[in-house]
Amino acid sequence: MNLDPTQMADWQIAEAAEKNIKPMQEIGEKLGLQEGELIPMGRGVAKIDYNKTWQRLKDAPVGKYVDVTAITPTPLGEGKTTTTMGLVEGLGVIGKKPIGAIRQPSSGPTFNIKGSAAGGGLAQCIPLAPFSLGLTGDFDAITNAHNLSMVALTARMQHENNYDDERLKKIGIKRLDVDPERVQIKWAIDFCAQSLRNITIGKGGKMDGYEMESGFQISVSSELMAILAVANSLADLRNRIGNIVVAYSRSGKEVTTADLEVDGAMTALMIDAINPNLVQTIEGNPVFVHAGPFANIAIGQNSVIADILGIRMGDYLVTESGFAADIGFEKFWNLKCRYSGLKPDAVVIVATVRALKMHGGGPSVKPGKPLDSAYTEENLEMLEKGCANLVAHINIVKQSGVSPVVCINGFYTDTSAEHDLIRRIAKEQGARCAVSEHWLKGGEGAVELAEEVVAACEEENNFDYLYELDMPFKDRVLTIATKIYGASGVEWSREAEEKIALFEADPDVRKMGMCMVKTHLSLSHNPDFKGAPTGWILPIRDVLIYKGAGFVVPVAGDIKLLPGTGSNPGYRQIDVDVNTGKVTGLF
């Protein structure tokens, strides 16, 4: 194929590549899948029967485990998925047997300003349209199961409000006495719909529900999405779903999905979602796609199931963590690796000249608007100043005991002098470094990166967690704030202080993990603080509990669980060719 990413949109490249897409049976054979383990779901898409495959592979030897993270991105992103796809293709070019593992994109970004998450140029996964538009229905299952729990809760509140205890007893219902001001979850929708953040439900008569304040959250922030990401079996999934705390009673008692007797039905809706999805890169390498939680408001990882399967099927399993090392890698390191029992052999930090210039004082970068010429013209002074952000992320990864590999995700507007400057700084910090042109050249452009990753995987490392689970919650937050974000301290709101004290007093909660909620646009809580800011205090305004997923969630700064839609959203460009049925305009 003679494809030029400088002259073609990503969807046009994907459409051309899909003419030569490999049959899923062939991809399954690459993975060593046996009869009945591959579940075809259409041209170029399949699921893997997790239970059958795991029973065969659970004692198999494991390959090398590589995580891809990044520096603090511009609002346009820094190409982590593109780099993940490029690294997988590059490893294939040098004769290895690689597998990628990424998250499924949410319809929120896909139809908004960020676009899909398939990668880009000659380093993307295909088929693009199914991947971007729901794939095999996992997100629909999560959204429906989440909303079923809200249906069960609000119906129960209505019935308890309308019926006396004797009537409830006759129909076999025990009064839960839900406190309408302590409902912990909202309705779910997989779009960026800011007008649904805060709503009033139940208006009308007594047969129209229980009137109260409510709202929506984006589906990827649902605890069910986190549970899909961390569960290791159907039994584990079922148990975790039953532990979800949806509300509290007026006496302060937890009200769970098991109390509402809806946990079994929720699991039934998600029974197929536990099987990871399988697609391929443009060059025919296998890619697992499973789960899709955001990293700024959730755990930000593809599933444990995808990783523990994939690492037993290939030489190298390249997984991806959302956003930058302060968020995605920190959660990979201290949450996901605890759940999976896996330890990384190498960690790739993706950096771009564009983002480093932004951190060096470059003009504002806004999606949908042309880049300022400062980002396409050489400016070594601005670039060197911005490398403070790269240094901070190198040091974050080094704290885990793993030596990082800096990947300069090359743009065709970059200069050799700019790349040489970043290489020098990365190596001074004790990191390997490679320039990769996977976007422009595919696997051939990622050979240097692949070779550096292979070399890094052969080095001994001292991977260990940042904190132990017996460390008090407030001390954990302080440790993350000071050692990872670079804060001087932590400030707790009264509400957050009260909640964390209650959670600390609960022996079932005390040793759970910690999943921070924070902006991805800065090492700090403030998206306007660029570079590597110092002398600031991290404000914790709230603390959530995800008892089914198994972690406490401190919320830093002003961040929403339902993003908004921008003024120039992606859905304006998406259409369908009515003669061929091909989707156009995805990016």
Taking 70 as the threshold, does the pLDDT of residue 187 lie above it? yes
Helices (H), 67-217: 80-93, 107-110, 128-132, 138-162, 165-170
Catalytic residue among 11, 54, 216, 439: 439
Query: Cα dihedral sign for 351, 357, 359, 364?
Result: negative
Whole-angstrom distance, CA of residue 295 vs CA of residue 321 = 8
Whole-angstrom distance, CA of residue 541 vs CA of residue 503 = 15
Catalytic residue among 141, 188, 291, 295: 295
Q: Is 433 helix (H, G, I), strand (E, B) or coil?
A: strand
Catalytic residue among 47, 64, 96, 103: 103
Residue 312 is a catalytic residue: no
Helices (H), 401-533: 416-428, 438-441, 447-458, 473-479, 494-505
Domains within the chain, CATH numbers bracketed:
36-136+273-458 (3.40.50.300), 139-260 (3.30.1510.10), 473-556 (3.10.410.10)
Q: What is the pLDDT of residue 542?
A: 95
Average pLDDT over residues 492-502: 96
Per-residue model confidence as pLDDT tens digits over 377-393: 999 999 999 999 999 99
Residue 369: pLDDT band (50, 70, 90) is confident
Cβ(299)–Cβ(340) below 8 Å:
no
Q: Is 369 exposed, middle or buried (0-12, 13-18, 19+ CB in 10 A)?
A: exposed
Whole-angstrom distance, CA of residue 142 vs CA of residue 262 = 14
Provide the terminal-to-terminal Cα distance of the chain, rounded to the nearest Å: 20
Instruction: Express as a percent the part of the chain with pLDDT over 70.
Output: 100
Token pair of 371 as six digits: 């880049």
Bridge partners (DSSP) listed for residue 302: none
Residue 366: pLDDT band (50, 70, 90) is confident
Taking 90 as the threshold, does the pLDDT of residue 271 lie above it? yes
Catalytic residue among 216, 323, 473, 536: 323
Taking 80 as the threshold, does the pLDDT of residue 368 lie above it? no
Per-residue model confidence as pLDDT tens digits over 197-256: 999 999 998 889 999 999 999 999 999 999 999 999 999 999 999 999 999 999 999 999
Residue 80 is a catalytic residue: yes
Catalytic residue among 80, 96, 336, 432: 80
Catalytic residue among 47, 64, 96, 114: 114
Residue 82 is a catalytic residue: yes
Q: Which residue has the higher pLDDT, 376 or 215?
A: 215
Give this prediction's pTM. Answer: 0.95
Residue 369 is a catalytic residue: no
Residue 114 is a catalytic residue: yes
Bridge partners (DSSP) listed for residue 318: 66, 100
Catalytic residue among 338, 411, 479, 483: 411
Catalytic residue among 53, 72, 74, 82: 82
Taking 70 as the threshold, does the pLDDT of residue 1 lie above it? no
Average pLDDT over residues 118-123: 94
Residue 169 is a catalytic residue: no
Residue 103 is a catalytic residue: yes
Cβ(32)–Cβ(313) below 8 Å:
yes
Residue 54 is a catalytic residue: no
**Mean pLDDT lowest among 85-94, 195-204, 218-227, 564-573:** 564-573
